[in-house]
Amino acid sequence: MEFGPIFRSLLRNRARVVVIVAEVALTLAIVANCMSLILDTRAQLARESGFDDDHMVLVRSNPFAESLNEEEVLNQLVDSDLRTLRALPGVRAVSNTSLEPWGQGGSITSVRLPGTRGEPLRAQFYSADPSIFDTLGIRVVQGRGFTREELEHGADAGPTETLPVVISKTLADVAFPDGKAVGRELAFADESQRLLVVGLIDRFYKPLGAAADRVMLTPGRTVGFDYGSSYLVRTEGDPGAMIPRMEKALLGAEKGRFLRLRTVPEMREEFHGRDRLLVASLNGVMALLVLVTSLGIVGLTSFSVAERRRQIGTRRALGADKGDIVRHFLLENWMVTSLGVVLGAALAYALNFGMVTWVSGARLSVPVVAVGALGLWLIGIASALGPALRGAQVPPAIATRNV
């Protein structure tokens, strides 16, 4: 092989080599991290909540009439709304709850085993009535759900009383590694209230940091003059088609309030809007970097061919065929690209370490870097092939010319 002569030739053109190496290294470092972020984001986009999202509507009711500024009246209105919604054809289940699937906000608390001083566990915490499980389309796989008596008593429970909670299996696995969660107690991190686990649900996911799949549901009402009431409605068919009928029925029962009805699929699309924009932006960045790198390799290789026309002609006159010339330039490009790939891999991991440590993001995996390196090798060869083929067309007679 021609490694020795090519290497010595590269040493005589250090500036050109440094430019290509820098381009390839920076491209690999940025592209590998972009690919890692894209794969992680797409995994989040593909993750299901575990609920019957495609058949749910979120209803927000915010009163403004002074006649509704009393707790008893608002509680009666909640009961009336639940009856009104359940009576509509096409409605499978309705729940008064503070849980908003795919909502931008949420409630997070910290819990631990009573009497312990270990690191508290972060978990989402929502109130709901007993219909929440049918409304979400999830099952209580161990224990039980809530009772009507627990719902009525929940609002009056004092700090010395134990609140019943249904928790996600993921939270149970962390809090109770022995697999026996039902009938056991948890407590808020400040020991202000104890929580009795009465049941486990099999699925839950609402993106909210480290607590995305950990939840505690407790019996209670979502009602108030300032923040209003919220309901989740599970429909038989298209939830969007049900919204006008729901709004008409609810305003027919009470007009002194504002209503906002949204389908959960719409909320999911809005929630993921920034993630989809991120993926599109990163794809654009990668395409631009690859294009710039390819053009740089084409330009520098073309310049190298033009600069060495007499050298190519001399080699042709001494018996080198066109294949030898093409192989020389491709091998030269491969050596330079390989140096850039090695430096780029180190830079990619350094950049990823900084992102994960000081900002956020997914850890860079070896397959991602390997795919990026292979892609740049192929791009380098493809970019250098055209100039190399043009160099192979140089006639041997060029070696005898003075100009």
What's the pLDDT tens digit per position in 207-245? 887 788 999 999 998 887 677 899 999 999 899 999 999
**Integer Cα distance of 60 and 262 in angstroms:** 9
Strands 194-201 and 56-63: unpaired
| Amino acid 319: pLDDT | 62
Q: Count CA within 13 A, CB hemisphere, residue 231.
A: 28
Q: Are 344 and 373 spatial neighbours (Cβ–Cβ below 8 Å)?
A: yes
Which amino acid, residue 203?
R
| Amino acid 118: pLDDT | 77
Q: Quick one: tokens of 231?
A: 């309901």
- State in Å, rounded, how far the first CA of the chain is from the last one: 31
Partners of 63 in the β-ladder: 257
Give phi and psi for 140, each to the nearest 5.
-85, 105
| pLDDT in single tens digits along all 403 residues of the chain | 465 555 556 556 666 777 788 888 888 888 888 888 888 888 888 888 889 999 999 999 999 988 888 888 888 999 999 999 999 999 999 999 999 998 877 889 999 998 888 789 999 999 999 999 999 999 999 999 998 888 877 655 556 678 899 999 999 999 999 889 999 999 998 888 889 999 999 889 998 877 889 999 999 988 876 778 999 999 998 999 999 999 999 999 989 999 999 999 999 998 888 889 989 998 998 889 888 888 877 777 776 666 666 666 666 666 666 666 677 777 777 777 888 889 989 999 988 888 877 776 678 888 888 998 888 888 878 877 777 677 666 666 564 555 4
**Residue found under tokens 């009393």:** 70
Please choose, from the candidates 194, 212, 229, the residue with its C-alpha nearest in 3D space to the C-alpha of residue 106.
212
**Residue found under tokens 């710039």:** 292
Provide the whole-model pTM.
0.76
Partners of 231 in the β-ladder: 59, 96
Q: Where are the domains of the chain?
A: 3-46+273-400, 53-264
Residue 339 burial by Cβ neighbours in a 10 Å radius (0-12, 13-18, 19+): middle
**Residue found under tokens 């030898």:** 324
Q: Quick one: tokens of 6?
A: 């090519």
Cα R_g (the chain), whole angstroms: 33
**Integer Cα distance of 67 and 73 in angstroms:** 8
| Amino acid 7: pLDDT | 56
Provide the mean pLDDT of the chain. Answer: 84
Q: Are 185 and 219 spatial neighbours (Cβ–Cβ below 8 Å)?
A: no
Residues 6 or more apart whose Cβ sits within 8 Å of residue 290: 27, 31, 375, 379
Length of the chain: 403
| Amino acid 226: pLDDT | 76
| Amino acid 403: pLDDT | 45
| Amino acid 231: pLDDT | 95
What sign has the CA pseudo-torsion 166, 150, 145, 73? negative
Strands 162-168 and 108-112: unpaired
Q: Are 250 and 262 spatial neighbours (Cβ–Cβ below 8 Å)?
A: no
**Integer Cα distance of 296 and 251 in angstroms:** 65
User: Residue 69 in 3-state DSSP?
Assistant: coil
Neighbours of 221 (CB within 10 A): 20
